[in-house]
Amino acid sequence: MAHITYKEESYAIVGCLFDVYNNLGSGFSEIVYKDAIEYEFKLKDIPIEREKKYSVKYKDITLPHKFYADFVVMDKIILEIKSIEMLSDKHLAQCINYLKVSGCKLALLVNFHKDFLDHQRIVL
C-alpha cells in the first residue's frame, strides 16, 4: 500500500473545501472562496496562516520578490485557491515554487470550477 503524505490532514482540508463549494457553488472570485475557507477552518479548529509570505534565497542574498501562499494549513500544507476555467502547468509550477521556498512537502491546488471542485495534490 502506497504512503499518502498527510492523508488525514488532506481529507480534513478537502472536506472544508467541499463544504464551501456546496454552500457557495461556482462563479465567485477567489477572494470570496478564501474568506469562506478561512471561516470553515476556524469552525473546525484547523490552524492556518493566510497569505503567508516567503522569501527566495539565491546564493548569499535574499531576492526582493516575495511569494505569498494563499494558505499554509497546519504549518505544513500549502493550499492554493483558484477560481478559473481550467488549471494549467503555470499553476502547478507556482505550487512547486511555494513548496521549494516553504520547506513544506505537500501543496493542494484547488480550483472552484463552474461545474465541479477540482483539486490536485502536489508532493515534493
Has residue 81 been placed in a domain? yes
**C-alpha grid cell, residue 105:** 512537502
Q: What is the mean pLDDT of the chain?
A: 94
Residue 34's domain comprises 7-123
12 burial level (CB within 10 Å; 0-12, 13-18, 19+)? middle
Identity of the residue numbered 42: K
72-119 residue pLDDT tens: 999 999 999 999 999 999 999 999 999 999 999 999 999 998 888 999
Has residue 12 been placed in a domain? yes
Has residue 1 been placed in a domain? no
First to last CA, the chain: 19
**2: pLDDT strictly greater than 80:** no
Sheet holding 77-82, edge to edge: 48-58, 61-73, 77-82, 106-112, 117-123
Name the domain count of the chain. 1
Task: Report the alpha-carbon distance of residue 108 to residue 98 in Å, rounded.
Answer: 11
User: What is the domain-level CATH number for residue 106?
Assistant: 3.90.320.10
Has residue 2 been placed in a domain? no
> pLDDT value at position 1?
66
